Amino acid sequence: MARLLFPLPIAAAAAAAASPIHIAASRFRLPLVSVARREALFGGRAGARAPARLATRGVSVGADAGGSAARAATVIGPEEALEWVKNDRRRLLHVVYRVGDLDKTIKFYTECLGMKLLRKRDIPEERYTNAFLGYGPEDSHFVVELTYNYGVESYDIGSGFGHFGIAVEDVEKTVELIKAKGGTVTREPGPVKGGNSIIAFIEDPDGYKFELIERGPTPEPLCQVMLRVGDLDRAINFYEKAFGMELLRTKDNPQYKYTIAMMGYGPEDKNAVLELTYNYGVKEYDKGNAYAQIAIGTDDVYKTAEVVRQNGGQITREPGPLPGISTKITACTDPDGWKSVFVDNLDFLKELEE
């Protein structure tokens, strides 16, 4: 979904939170959404309700974070917010990051990791290209959104981003294939520290780490995004209340001085999840300029923005339609500075129908 992307020149990466959103201005028409598309996106979350019309009370108008578009803010009480977030139909849509050689990365992901190239689009007027890859259609699977900014060959991944997780049925065979293709293996197959799961770690051509996790067949092979946080309890509280995620499990590893928390919108074996890692005593991390954000579906970007504010998040792009088109989004950062973009569910499906 290119419109959610913030493809930055390297010199401007430090200003990512305030950067403009690049869009394809020629794509204005939004067709009707098929029943199949609706069911694919909305069929899986227990207790989900149909999108309600946005309440009109407490609406104000001003400029967005970039100072160029209208915005709306919805007043919603804390109790109402908690209940609404629980029933909002949310799903992890994309994880967005920057690469220095798009063709090389696509080749690695398709030949070594078994992903499919779902679509690719060049935006010459904005000097960037993006590609979407994954293990199934975007309306029902979590996928990667790669961005290549013209002339930028490398990025700083930083120390805060951890890895992506991919579930495979045979870690050892996958590692052998990756080695045969010239890939880099940074951790040979074996049991995870302090556990029994068989894992391995590899790096893609840009240095992003992937954890290969041995599991049986799963509907969501692209299964994890790991980010490091400085206060785990604060992060858990934020993602529960502001993002409506469920705390699936935590695991403390005192021998190795770290604790993890798995959070998401459904069980780990069937859904992509966010893995938050706290390393004892480490409060801050360098986020670099390579990893960008996660995109999440929502029924109402206006209410989402208000709930994020109430729970300590910072809105970096006020809710509303993108310039020239009807896709409504809002962008925010969590208490650790990690960025996310929320996208209107129906608008997202309409884009895929084009």
Q: How many CB atoms lie within 10 A of CB 86?
A: 13
Q: Mean pLDDT, to the nearest integer, of 212-221?
A: 95
Indicate the burial class of 120 (C-beta count within 10 angstroms; 0-12, 13-18, 19 or more). middle
* The pLDDT value given to residue 27: 33
* The pLDDT value given to residue 26: 31
* The pLDDT value given to residue 322: 86
Residue 325: pLDDT above 90?
A: no
Secondary structure class of 350 (helix, strand, coil): helix
Contacts of 173 (CB under 8 A, 6+ apart): none
Strands (E), 30-134: 60-63, 70-73, 91-98, 116-123, 128-134
For every residue of 179-226, DSSP letters joined together read HHTT-EEEEEEEEPTTS--EEEEEE-TT--EEEEEE-S--S-SEEEEE
Show the domains of the chain with their CATH numbers: 2-15+28-353 (3.10.180.10)
More confident site: 50 or 197: 197
* Cα distance between residue 123 and residue 109, in whole Å: 22
Of 244, 231, 204, nearest to 97 by C-alpha is: 204
240 is catalytic: no
Spacing of C-alpha 290 from chain mean position: 14
> Of all residues in the chain, what percent carry a pLDDT higher than 70?
79
Model confidence at 354, in pLDDT bands (50, 70, 90)? Answer: confident
Q: Mean pLDDT, to the nearest integer, of 44-71?
A: 34
Q: Mean pLDDT, to the nearest integer, of 77-102?
A: 92
More confident site: 226 or 10: 226
Spacing of C-alpha 26 from chain mean position: 26
| Options 211, 214, 268, 351, the catalytic residue | 211
- DSSP letter at 345 equals H
pLDDT tens digit string along 135-171? 999 999 999 999 999 999 999 999 999 999 999 999 9
Strand 246-253 with 258-264, pairing: antiparallel
* The pLDDT value given to residue 98: 98
**Whole-prediction pTM value?**
0.82
* Cα distance between residue 190 and residue 193, in whole Å: 9
* Cα distance between residue 207 and residue 77, in whole Å: 44
Q: What is the largest CA-CA distance in the chain?
A: 61
Q: Mean pLDDT, to the nearest integer, of 2-12?
A: 40
Model confidence at 104, in pLDDT bands (50, 70, 90)? Answer: very high
* The pLDDT value given to residue 91: 96
Residue 74: pLDDT above 80?
A: no
Model confidence at 77, in pLDDT bands (50, 70, 90)? Answer: confident
Model confidence at 250, in pLDDT bands (50, 70, 90)? Answer: very high
Q: What is the mean pLDDT of the chain?
A: 83
- Six-digit token string for 27: 């794509």
* The pLDDT value given to residue 56: 25
- Six-digit token string for 277: 């890692």
Most confident of 26-30, 56-60, 68-72, 181-185: 181-185
* Cα distance between residue 42 and residue 52, in whole Å: 14
Q: Mean pLDDT, to the nearest integer, of 304-309?
A: 95
- Six-digit token string for 4: 């959610």
Q: Mean pLDDT, to the nearest integer, of 9-19?
A: 36
Out of 185-199, 256-270, 335-349, least confident range:
185-199
* Cα distance between residue 54 and residue 301, in whole Å: 10
* The pLDDT value given to residue 194: 75
Q: State the sign of the Cα–Cα–Cα–Cα dihedral 107, 109, 111, 112.
A: positive
Residue 57: pLDDT above 60?
A: no
Provide the residue type at 19 as one letter: S
* The pLDDT value given to residue 326: 83
Task: Please name the residue ranges forming H helices in the chain.
Answer: 35-42, 78-87, 102-111, 171-180, 232-241, 301-310, 345-353
Model confidence at 44, in pLDDT bands (50, 70, 90)? Answer: very low
* The pLDDT value given to residue 45: 44
Residue 5: pLDDT above 60?
A: no
Residue 72: pLDDT above 60?
A: no
